[in-house]
Amino acid sequence: MKFKQPFSKILVELRTQKHLSIKELSNKSGVSERHIIYLEQGVHEPSLEIIFKLIEALGSDPIEIIQRVTKNGASDEPMS
């Protein structure tokens, strides 16, 4: 399954909507600034643990995030 709206894009959108700097999100989530930068750039893929830390720090609903990643974007093609 491929995703058209990657987590990196959603993370940037949520962080900017909440008016948080990367440093502020890092402090709230316990995830390093460098790791957040890499996630936002799409360099790293987040683990489930990191996703939940960031979602909690952003005050977002995990189900909503999953729906945003998959809605209108998932295909049945296998990921390579």
- 75: phi then psi, degrees, rounded to nearest 5: -120, 165
Residue 72 scores a pLDDT above 70: no
Q: Are 4 and 79 in contact (CB under 8 A)?
A: no
Structure tokens at 3: 């995703």
Model pLDDT, residue 77: 47
- Dihedral sign (CA 31, 33, 38, 40): positive
Domains and CATH numbers, the chain: 7-70 (1.10.260.40)
Question: For residue range 3-58, what is the model confidence (pLDDT) as tens digits?
Answer: 556 889 999 999 999 999 999 999 999 999 999 999 999 888 888 899 999 999 99
Structure tokens at 6: 């990657």
Model pLDDT, residue 6: 81
